[in-house]
Amino acid sequence: MISILRLGHRIHRDIRVTTHLALTARAFLADNFYYTGQSDSSFENSIEKINQKWGSLFRVRYIPDYKNFLKEIKALKIHLTMYGELLPNKIEEIRNCKNDILIMVGGQKVPPYIYQIADLNISVTTQPISEISSVAIFLNEFFKGKPLTHEFKNSKNKVIPQQKSKKVIKR
């Protein structure tokens, strides 16, 4: 089981980024998406609609108290940060881990607590990028490129890749 924890969601300012982060995590085969900050039913509904149309059992859950959540969850906790250890040097160790994995990403400034509670602080390049791209690249590396061609079995719609037009089959 692989989950994302997005820290510090703000309803109006972050709706687009948090939605895109969840869509990316879903498409790149994460199982769960947890978020802290402000609870946002409109964000949660938009992801549920995507699941209904395009498949996946991806679940979104709001976490009111992230410190408590992080104390209780049994998973390898990985914080993505440009200041962490380089992903290529750690990916094999992470793939070999038998536990569930929780990937933590920030939005605004991340509290020092997250760096401390993380089992691993991992960088996806040592340049500032974004939570969306770091999660996409992490998951694609973790799954060795499998997400790029994956099809969700329970999808109502299936895209047939085309060179110059859109083709979608209803199932």
Ligand X SMILES: C[S@@+](CC[C@H](N)C(=O)[O-])C[C@H]1O[C@@H](n2cnc3c(N)ncnc32)[C@H](O)[C@@H]1O
Residues that bind ligand X (CB under 6 A): 80-82, 105-107, 109-110, 123-125, 127-131, 134
Q: Which of 111, 118, 149 is nearest to 8 (CA)?
A: 111
Q: How far is the CB of 129 from ligand X (least distance, A)?
A: 4
- Compute the least distance from the CB of residue 137 to ligand X, in Å: 8
d(Cα 84, Cα 77) in Å, to the nearest integer?
Answer: 13
Q: Which is nearer to ligand X, 74 or 109 (CB)?
A: 109
**Closer CB to ligand X, residue 56 or residue 134?**
134
Minimum distance of ligand X from residue 50's CB (angstroms): 22
> Between the CA of residue 74 and those of 24, 67, 99, what are the distances in Å?
24, 13, 8
Residue 7 beta carbon to ligand X: minimum distance, rounded to whole angstroms:
7
The residue among 13 and 49 lying less far from ligand X, judged by its C-beta, is 13
Closest to ligand X by CB, 73 or 129? 129
Q: How far is the CB of 99 from ligand X (least distance, A)?
A: 21
CA dist 149 and 50 (Å) reads 18
Q: Torsion-angle region of residue 8: left (phi > 0), alpha (psi -120 to 50) or beta?
A: left
**Which residue, 55 or 104, has its beta carbon nearer to ligand X?**
104
97's tokens: 């881990």
Q: Name the residue with the smallest CB distance to ligand X.
A: 106
In order of 78, 94, 152, 156, 161, the CA distances from 169 in angstroms are 38, 37, 14, 8, 11
